[in-house]
């Protein structure tokens, strides 16, 4: 055994290395820093993300007055007169909904004329009823000094006449109320509101009485459709057909405005001012 005391003993080296590796494994199993480091990285990333979103919102609010949406544009007096179907359909469920008249299929002046005609018809019908019941028989009754209750025959003759006249008056009032309800915005659907906006566009931008095809009128009609579809798509994000139609209307409006800009620049400036657009918005609202 003394022969191997100073010699190389590999089995001792192997056992020593094995013991050292076991000690290192035990130390590593006791101290884990990977989860802590990853948690700090995620926390810093979330902080940077929140700061970026906050900064983006601040920039959006700062540019809200200077930069407008290339599709919707700025608010104008004509746009404020348009009826927005989605907002009206939501607001009319409230108890204090304002009563407003519509222009399509008839204006309020036409409705008043219809009501006046009903009043004339009622008056003429009342006169005919009086003649039919032979009111001349009433003149045969005793004078006013004599009480009507003392003459039962006269009371029986006047009572049916009073009932008929009262029924005719109630019927006329119901007809008048029905006409106003039919043409009230509260009982209108979205299609009627869109047609009302179309009629308003023709009245506001027509160059003459029968002008329905000028670029100004067509651009105004497209603008009313764009605003209505934009509100619809914001509340119905899965409506792909509505989004395609919105994109189509935007392209058609830009086409009309570019043509008007080429033909008559003064008319173009007046038109886009009423529509709430600018020259820059028209040129960059469609980039492809």
Average confidence (pLDDT) per 10 residues, the chain, 288 residues: 50 55 53 64 88 89 69 82 72 57 59 69 62 51 48 54 62 66 68 83 87 90 91 88 92 92 92 88 70
pTM score, whole prediction: 0.56
| CB contact set of 204 (below 8 Å; sequence gap of 6+) | 78, 220, 274
Tell me, what's the pLDDT at 141?
46
Res 220: pLDDT: 93
Cα-atom radius of gyration of the chain, to the nearest Å? Answer: 42
């Amino acid at each position: 055994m003394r022969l191997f005391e100073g010699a190389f003993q590999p089995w001792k080296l192997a056992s020593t290395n094995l013991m050292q590796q076991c000690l290192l494994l035990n130390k590593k199993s006791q101290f884990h820093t990977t989860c802590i480091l990853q948690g700090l990285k995620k926390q810093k990333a979330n902080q940077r993300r929140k700061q970026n979103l906050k900064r983006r919102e601040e920039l959006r609010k700062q540019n809200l007055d200077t930069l407008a949406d290339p599709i919707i544009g700025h608010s104008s007096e004509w746009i404020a007169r348009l009826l927005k179907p989605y907002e009206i359909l939501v607001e009319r469920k409230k108890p204090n909904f304002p009563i407003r008249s519509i222009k399509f299929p008839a204006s309020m002046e036409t409705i008043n004329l219809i009501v006046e005609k009903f009043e004339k018809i009622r008056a003429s019908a009342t006169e005919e009823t009086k003649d039919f019941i032979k009111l001349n028989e009433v003149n045969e009754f005793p004078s006013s000094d004599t009480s009507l209750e003392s003459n039962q025959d006269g009371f029986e003759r006047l009572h049916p006449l009073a009932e008929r006249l009262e029924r005719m008056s109630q019927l006329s009032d119901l007809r008048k109320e029905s006409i106003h309800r039919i043409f009230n915005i509260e009982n209108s659907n979205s299609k009627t509101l869109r047609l009302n906006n179309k009629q308003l566009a023709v009245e506001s931008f027509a160059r003459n009485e029968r002008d329905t095809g000028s670029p100004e009128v067509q651009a105004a009609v497209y603008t009313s459709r764009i605003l209505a579809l934009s509100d619809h798509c914001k509340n119905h994000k899965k409506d792909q057909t509505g989004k395609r139609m919105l994109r189509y209307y935007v392209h058609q409006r830009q086409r009309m405005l570019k043509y008007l800009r080429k033909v008559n620049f003064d008319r173009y400036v007046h038109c886009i001012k009423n529509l709430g657009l600018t020259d820059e918005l028209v040129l960059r609202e469609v980039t492809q």
